Structure 1
Amino acid sequence: MKPYEDPNARLDEVTVATKPVFEGKIISLQIDTVKLPDGSTASREIVRHPGAVAVMAIHEGKMVLVDQFRQAMGRRELEIPAGKLEKGEDPLEAAKRELQEETGYTCGNIRLLHSFYTSPGFADEIIHLYVAEDLESGEASLDEDEFLELCELTLDEAQEAIAAGKISDAKTIMAVYAWKLKRLTGAFQL
């Protein structure tokens, strides 16, 4: 995804210093000191993330979801299959891998719908959202610390799950609304 380019660049901030704070398995945290457009300085807490993929998989008129506990939320959540990119991994290959690992499905047709930043105010995580169709069932191969159940919902059921708070993460809501838009227009688009 290309960044927005302002020819005047009058709103840009310039990084003066970076202080690493935490280096984890998935994310790192740093504090940047930036020079603001008016010449003053400010601190920015930045979460670095390797990026992720998410897959809107449609099987026999239903969206494939996984039900899993999310510690940060303190509850279970219905989500489309997703996972982080490994270092140097091609997002398309990662999408196919995550779909197979979490659901057992492989796909005959997969394409990028859109890439988007999850929380650009403090994180650089980008998610590449793919649409997968022509699914063939197979055996899932979950990570050793991954426990989930497969769930398939119609569009109406997915919208009801959003209304009930069972689907509340942005990538899955975006996928449901893209699916709804396809029903209205005949093509996946954002």
Structure 2
Amino acid sequence: MRVSGPGLHGKCSTLAVMSDTPGSTAVLYDGHIVKLELQDGKWEIVRHRDAVSVLVLDGEGRMLCVRQPRRAIGTDTVEAPAGLIDDGETPEQAARRELQEEAGLDGDMRLLTRYYSSPGFSDEQIYLYHATNLRESRLPMDDDEQIEVEWLQPRAVLEGLRDGTMTGSATTVTAALYALQVQA
């Protein structure tokens, strides 16, 4: 039995009655950004679009961060520029686009690492890039984005991570990699 109705962004979602047959996968929800599956009748798996995050440092060693409201947690966050990879884009193209949209910058991109944001239940990978040789290059922001650019000293970013005022896995990994590079 299936029940359909409006999903995220007007897309159709599908709810399915679960099966506990070994090897079975039931799609519980299929939206614009995520798909929720039930495997073997007991494992909830979130299929999520992959994302990118970009580490940017200016000539004074400050880290580019963006402040923006995040509905899922009900507050503003300060984080590294980041976003989802669109259909047909490579991770590098997405990193370049996000940096242009959120900060009006472009540069040479180098992949630092990629990691799973929450591998216990989601397949989302985040590709972390370092942008250098920066130049102005602006793309329009998405209609739903309200972003303020902030240049922060790395020490302030690390303190924000320690005291909980800065959150988000991409920002945490970005700052940690930066700190490791400085100490290496």
Q: What range is the shorter-chain TM-score in?
A: 0.7 to 0.9
List runs of 5+ in structure 1 lacking aligned partners: 1-14, 34-41, 186-190
* Structure 2 match to 1:89: 89
- Map 1:22-37 → 2, pairs under 5 A: 22-33=29-40
List runs of 5+ in structure 2 lacking aligned partners: 1-21
* Structure 2 match to 1:115: 114
Query: What displacement does 1:89 show?
Result: 1.4
User: 2-side partners of 1:102 and 1:168: how far apart?
Assistant: 18
Percent identity for Structure 1 against Structure 2: 36
- Map 1:44-83 → 2, pairs under 5 A: 44-60=43-59, 61-83=61-83
Maintained 8 Å contact 1:59/1:134: no
Query: What displacement does 1:46 show?
Result: 0.7
> Residue deviations 1:28-70, cap 9 Å, x none?
111111xxxxxxxx61101111211111111221111110111
Residue 23 of structure 2 aligns to a residue whose secondary structure is: strand
Task: Give the letter aligned to residue 91 of structure 2.
Answer: P
Task: Give the letter aligned to residue 127 of structure 2.
Answer: H
User: 1-side partners of 2:129 and 2:175: how far apart?
Assistant: 12
User: 1-side partners of 2:67 and 2:160: how far apart?
Assistant: 12
Q: CA RMSD in A?
A: 1.6
- Map 1:1-190 → 2, pairs under 5 A: 16-33=23-40, 43-60=42-59, 61-107=61-107, 109-185=108-184
* Structure 1 match to 2:14: none
User: 2-side partners of 1:48 and 1:144: how far apart?
Assistant: 25
Count of matched residue pairs:
163
TM-score by length of 1: 0.81
Residue 99 of structure 1 aligns to a residue whose secondary structure is: helix
Residue 59 of structure 1 aligns to a residue whose secondary structure is: coil
TM-score by length of 2: 0.83
